[in-house]
Amino acid sequence: MHISDGIISTPVCLTATAAAIGLVYLTGRRATTEEIPRMGITGAALFVASLIHFPVAGTSIHLGLFGIAGIILGRRSFPVVFTALLFQALIFQHGGLLTLGVNAINMGTGAFMAWIIWRITAIPEYARAALAGFTGIIVPALLMIAEFRITGYGSAVAVIALIYIIAALIEGGITLSAVVFFRKVKPDILANPVLNCKHEKVYGDD
Amino acid sequence: MIKRAAFLTLLIVVGFSAGVFAHGVNTETSFHAGVAVVRSTYSPEQPLADALVTIYSPGDRINAWQTGRTDKTGHFAFLPDIDGEWIFFVDDQKGHSKKTAIIIEPDKTESPEPDATDDMAEHDTPGSGPGTFHRIILGLALIFGITGIFYGFRSRQSRKQIHKDI
């Protein structure tokens, strides 16, 4: 899931990093005092989750928790994903600093799509949760494959999708379990984050 | 206020930078058919490529038995000619190094018992970085620290605005 330095061309990486920094500002500004601790805890979970590996089909996959991040944080998940990836790259050399923007856009889009799915209230909640978890992984995987193809890698990179389908199914199950847990112990965390934002007046953002 | 928060964040990041950029060197050893192979890595994805290797035989800890460099995947292979504790020292010449003791046991030259691997004493030299657990703690501390700074900054802004409104 994490693209290392040297795989994607430098101009693309730099453009993506600039775009990602802009998105961090746009999606992170006006965060309320209620949201900031939630963002910190989710960021910590994302940071640690990538270290939990599962052996699959001769390779290993790891947790992402982007679906849960999208459900809990909504659009605020993008700065959280960016921060978690930054520290993963700095501390564990997981991914790369040059590809930070590409990785953040890939995984941030996954979290954002998970949030979109979570908002479709016509779907039963538990189905939405599982689907959001699945989407949180499969969308970044598809974006990653598309970037590899654009960079010039052959069609064989599509095999990555098969591996990530398994990861996405695991993630869907974990997201479902998390939603069931939150619904029992702290249901307000599953409320629409944007609606919560509107309830609190934000000072000093001008 | 923004400048102060930004400066504080910068101070924390710079303060931790020595630890952040320090890599921990890990080595994995295998021994088969008389050939010892050591793979040196910063992390599973990042090998110590082209790092300087020095090997000391069990009978001579002063003069190097062999020197060389790891390949691009971090591997180095050598053929121990006697049983005993061999010292494998790898140095990337960027401040990261590790010394590993490799025990070649008598009559087990084809394939070492699992215990032989367990006996390998690995010693982090001062140049080695923190282990995985310490890095996790470091990352979590940074994330929670930044969260605390932003939380404090935002709540102070809110309080000031409330006082103004009153």
Would you state the pLDDT for residue B103? 83
**How far apart (Å, rounded) are the C-alpha atoms in residues A165 and A171?**
10
Q: In this structure, are residues A165 and A142 in contact, taking their beta carbons and an 8 Å threshold?
A: no
pTM of the full predicted structure?
0.64
Chain centroid to CA B26: 6
Q: For residue B144, list chain A residues with Cβ-Cβ distance below 8 A.
A: 40, 44
Identify which of B21, B147, B158 has the shortest CB distance to residue A203: B158
Q: Which residues 6+ apart lie within 8 Å of B18 measured at CB?
A: none
Would you state the pLDDT for residue B58? 86
Phi/psi of residue B123, each to 5°?
Answer: -120, 125
Strands B75-78 and B122-124: unpaired
Positive or negative, the CA dihedral B103, B108, B113, B115 is negative
The mean pLDDT of chain B is: 73
Inter-chain touch A40–B21, beta carbons under 8 Å = no
Which residue shows structure tokens 């993630």? A171
- Domain residues for the domain of B72 are 24-129
The mean pLDDT of chain A is: 85
Q: In this structure, are residues A39 and A31 in contact, taking their beta carbons and an 8 Å threshold?
A: yes
B48 with B6, same domain: the answer is no
More confident residue, B119 or A175: A175
Q: For residue B148, list chain A residues with Cβ-Cβ distance below 8 A.
A: 40
Is the pLDDT at A202 greater than 80? The verdict is: no
pLDDT-derived band at A186 (thresholds 50, 70, 90) equals confident
Q: Which residues 6+ apart lie within 8 Å of B2 measured at CB?
A: B153
More confident residue, B6 or B21: B6
Cβ count near A166 (within 10 Å): 14
Domain with residue B28: its CATH number is: 2.60.40
Identify which of A91, A94, A202 has the shortest CB distance to residue B138: A91
How many Å lie between the alpha carbon of A3 and the closest alpha carbon of chain B? 11
More confident residue, B32 or A15: A15
Would you state the pLDDT for residue A68? 93
Q: How far is CA B123 from CA A204, B102, B104, in A?
A: 53, 12, 18
B33 with B97, same domain: the answer is yes
In 3D space, the residue among B30, B15, B16 whose CA is nearest the CA of residue B138 turns out to be: B16
pLDDT, mean of residues B8-18: 44
pLDDT digits (tens, 9 = 90+) for A133-159: 999 999 999 998 888 888 777 777 777
B88 with B108, same domain: the answer is yes
Q: Which residues 6+ apart lie within 8 Å of B158 measured at CB?
A: A33, A202, A203, A204
B45 with B97, same domain: the answer is yes
B123-157 burial, b at 16+ Cβ within 10 Å, e below that, comes to: eeeebbbbeeeebbebbbebbbbbbebbbebbeeb
Would you state the pLDDT for residue A114? 94
What's the count of helices (H) and strands (E) in chain B, helices before strands?
3, 9
**How far apart (Å, rounded) are the C-alpha atoms in residues A16 and B73?**
29
Is the pLDDT at A122 greater than 70? The verdict is: yes
CATH assignment, A10-197: 1.10.1760.20
Would you state the pLDDT for residue A67? 93
Domain count within chain B: 2
DSSP letter at B58? T
B11 with B48, same domain: the answer is no
Inter-chain touch A87–B43, beta carbons under 8 Å = no
A204: left (phi over 0), alpha (psi -120 to 50) or beta: left
pLDDT digits (tens, 9 = 90+) for B81-140: 888 888 888 887 666 778 888 888 765 544 444 444 444 444 444 444 567 788 889 889
Nearest CA in chain A to B25: A92
Is the pLDDT at B165 greater than 70? The verdict is: yes
Identify which of B43, B160, B162 has the shortest CB distance to residue A92: B43
DSSP characters over A77-125: HHHHHHHHHHHHHHHH--S-STTHHHHHHHHHHHHHHHHHHHT-TTS-H
Would you state the pLDDT for residue B116? 41
In 3D space, the residue among A84, A93, A89, A97 whose CA is nearest the CA of residue A8 turns out to be: A97
**How far apart (Å, rounded) are the C-alpha atoms in residues A136 and A167?**
10
Q: In this structure, are residues B48 and B26 in contact, taking their beta carbons and an 8 Å threshold?
A: no
Domain ranges of chain A: 10-197
**How far apart (Å, rounded) are the C-alpha atoms in residues B70 and A9?**
27
Which of helix, strand or coil describes residue B82? coil
pLDDT digits (tens, 9 = 90+) for A26-72: 998 888 888 899 999 999 999 998 877 777 666 667 888 999 999 99
Q: Which of A5-14, A104-113, A185-194 has the lowest mean pLDDT?
A: A185-194
**How far apart (Å, rounded) are the C-alpha atoms in residues A115 and A135?**
10
**How far apart (Å, rounded) are the C-alpha atoms in residues B88 and B34?**
16
Q: In this structure, are residues B41 and B76 in contact, taking their beta carbons and an 8 Å threshold?
A: no
pLDDT-derived band at B15 (thresholds 50, 70, 90) equals very low
B12 with B32, same domain: the answer is no
More confident residue, A96 or A182: A182
